[in-house]
Amino acid sequence: MLKHIFGAALILALPASSAIAQNDGPAQVSVTVDTSKPGPVIDRHIYGQFAEHLGTGIYGGIWVGENSPIPNIRGYRTDVVEALKKIHVPVIRWPGGCFADLYNWRDGIGPRDKRPVRINVHWGGVTDDNAFGTNEFMNFAELVGADPYVSINVGSLPPYDAAQWVEYMTSNENASLANERRANGRDKPWNLKYLGIGNETWGCGGNMTPEYAASINARYSSFVNAPAAMGMIKVASGATGNVGGRGDPQAFTEAMMKDGGRLQALSFHYYAMPMGRDRGPATGFGEDLWARELDLAREMEPLVSKVSATMDKYDPEKKVALYVDEWGSWYNQEPGTHPGFLYQQNSLRDAEVAALTLDIFHRHTDRVKLAAIAQMINVLQAMILTDGPKMLLTPTYHVFDMYQPFMEATPYPANVSGPNYSQGGHTMPMVDVSAARGKDGKLYLALVNTDPHRSAHVVTNLNGTGRGTILTGPAMDTHNTFDAPNTIHPVAFSGKSAGGKAVFDLPAKSIAVVAIK
C-alpha cells in the first residue's frame, strides 16, 4: 500500500440530538433512471476488504489468540467475526501491501512457539511473532465466508518460493508440501480464489520501471500455479492514481497490458489523500477539508476511466478485469498513537467517501470486478475499530451494510439534474445516485447528499414510493467512540408518491439506500 427523494409524509428516524441545517430551503433535484439500459452485474467482490500486517489491523484487530480473555473463536475475535459475517464480506486481501514484499511465508507456518520473530520494517519497525500466518489467514477467510486473496512476494523472493507457497495452500496430492500443510492441521487444500503477483511494484514492491514490472509479472505468472480446477485468478500489480513517475496510470497500464504476459486481472490503487506531509485531521476539520476530501474521492471516476481506456486498446472485449484493491481516505494519524500504525478515526465524511466511491464502481462494472477498502480494522479508513476488549462499527462499515442489496445487482444509468455543492474551490454535484435491480427483483437507489448544510427535494421518474435506511449526523465529523459506539448508525427512512412518482427529502450530509415499491 501507499507510504442524487421524499415529500411531506417523510418518515425519518434520527437521533434526538440531530439537527438538519438548511440554506434557503431544499434544493430541487431531479433523478431519471433508465431501466431500459441495464449494465453488467455489480460483482459482489467490489465490497472487499484489505488486511495488512500494519499496526493493530491483525494483532488485536482480528487475532487475539485462543487463550485471550477477549471472546474468540479459535483465536479470532468473536465480535469482529460476527460483524464481518453480517455484511457478507466477499474477499479479503492479505498479507499486504508493502508488508508482502518482505514476507517469507515459511515464517508463518508450523507451531506458533517455534515461528521466528521478524521486524516489520515498513510499518513502525515493531516485531511480528508470525502468530498469524497462512493457516490462520486462510481459516479466517473461510470462517467469515470470504474468498482469500493472497499477495506473493516478488520483491525479495524468487518465483520458486511463491510456487511452493501456492502448492502448500492448494495441493491435494501426496507430496511433501501438501503433507506439511496436513501436519500443520489442515487436511483439505484451501480454495485460493485470487493471487496477487506482488504489490505496488512501482514503489515499495521493488521500485520497478513499467517495462521491468511487466516482465516480472510475466515471469512469476509462468511459474506460480494452482490446480486448474480451482480457477485461481492471477492479479498483476498495476498503477496508482496518487503519484506520477513509474506508477503513472498511463505508462504503467500500457506496459503491463502490452508485455505482462497472459493477464487475467490488473490492480489499481488510489487513496483520497491530500499530497504532502499534512493531510489534515480525521475529525475536528472545517468545511474546506470536507469538500476537499469528497472531491478527492470523486477523482476515482476519471482515474478508472483513464485506466480502462488504456486497457481497451489491448483488450477491447474486456476480458481482463480491473481490481481497485486499495482505496479509501488517508489523513494524519491520530495524535498519540504509534508512528507508522496509520490509525485514524472514521466519521460521517468517510461514510460519504465510501458511498461516492462505491457508486463510481457501480458505474464501471464493465471493468471493475473487485475492490478492497484500506483497511478492514484499525488502519486508515477502517470498517471496525478495536481497543482491547472494546469494538465499534464505523460509519464506513454502516455504508457497506446499507449497500448490500447492490451485491450482484444489475445497474441502470441514473441522470441527475440539480445544483452543485461548492466550497473552498471544490465543486461537485450536490446529489450523487446509484440505481440497480437487486437479486430480489427490487429496484434500489443509493442517494448521497454531499452538501453539509442544505437538504434536497429529490423527484424521480420511478413509479411508487421508497423505503430504506439513512446515515447522517449533526456534524460533518460525527463519529463513534468506544464510550459512545452508537452515536452514528443507519435509521429508518422513507418517502412518498407524488403524482405517482417516488420523491424523497434528503437531509444535508447524508447517505440513503431505498427500495422502490
| Maximum CA extent, the chain | 74
E strands present in 7-146: 11-12, 27-33, 48-50, 72-73, 76-77, 91-94, 118-119, 127-128
- The DSSP call for residue 316 is T
N-term to C-term CA, the chain: 42
* Coil vs helix vs strand at 491: strand
8 A C-beta contact, residue 355 and residue 40: no
Burial 168-203 (b: 16+ CB within 10 A, else e): bbbbeeeeebbebbeeeebeebbbbbbbbbbbbbbb
Residue 36, sorted as left (phi over 0), alpha (psi -120 to 50) or beta, turns out to be: alpha
Q: Is the separation of the CB atoms in 64 and 70 below 8 Å?
A: yes
State the Rg of the chain over Cα. 23
Centroid of chain to Cα 328: 7
Active-site annotation holds for 287 = no
Alpha-helix residue ranges (DSSP H) falling in 36-123: 78-86
Report residue 445 as a C-alpha cell.
437507489
Burial class (CB in 10 A: 0-12, 13-18, 19+), 294: buried
Distance CA 109, CA 126 (A): 20
* 358 contact partners, CB below 8 Å, separation of at least 6: 46, 47, 399, 403, 406, 434, 446
Nearest to 479 by CA among 300, 261, 329, 308: 329
The values of phi and psi at residue 202, to 5°, are -80, -10
- Give dist(CA 457, CA 307) in Å, integer: 35
Residue by residue, DSSP assigns 145-200 as: TPEEEEEE--SSS-HHHHHHHHHHHH--SSSHHHHHHHHTT--SPP---EEEE-S-
Clarify whether 326 is annotated catalytic: yes
- Provide the 3-class DSSP secondary structure of residue 54: coil
Q: Say which of 52, 136, 254, 326 is annotated catalytic.
A: 326
Q: Which of 52, 167, 200, 352 is an active site residue? A: 200
- Which positions are catalytic? 200, 326
